[in-house]
Amino acid sequence: MKNIKQNLLLFIIAPLGALFIWLITKTIRVKIINKEYGMDGDNLKKAIFAFWHNRLFLLTGYFAGSGVCAIISKSSDGELVARISKILGYNCVRGSSSKGGASALFSMIKNKNLDKGFVITVDGPKGPKYKVKDGVIFLAEKTGLPIIPVTYSVKHKIEINSWDNFIIPMPWTSGEIRFGEPIEIKKENNSKVNIDKCRNSIEVVLGLLTETSL
179 burial via Cβ count (<10 Å: 0-12, 13-18, 19+):
buried
Domain that holds residue 28: 2-212
Give residues with Cβ within 8 angstroms of 186, minimum separation 6: 141
Position 190 scores a pLDDT of 60
Nearest one of 132, 150, 162, 128 to 44, comparing CA atoms: 150
Cis status, amide bond into 128, omega within 30 of 0: yes
Cβ neighbours, 10 Å, residue 89: 13
Reduced to 3 states, what is the DSSP secondary structure of residue 121? strand
Number of H helices, E strands in the chain: 7, 11
Q: How far apart are CA 210 and CA 96, in angstroms?
A: 25
In percent, the amount of the chain with pLDDT more than 90 equals: 56
Q: Which of 129, 70, 81 minimizes the C-alpha distance to 105? A: 70
For 128-173, write each residue's pLDDT tens digit.
999 999 888 888 888 889 999 999 999 999 999 999 999 999 999 9
Positions of the chain with pLDDT lower than 70, given as ranges:
1-2, 4-5, 8, 96-114, 188-190, 214
Domains in the chain, number:
1
Q: What is the CATH number of the domain that holds 90?
A: 3.40.1130
pTM for this entry: 0.90
Tell me the per-residue pLDDT of 12-27, one tens digit each, with 9 for 90 and over: 899 999 999 999 999 9
Give the pLDDT score at 156.
Answer: 96
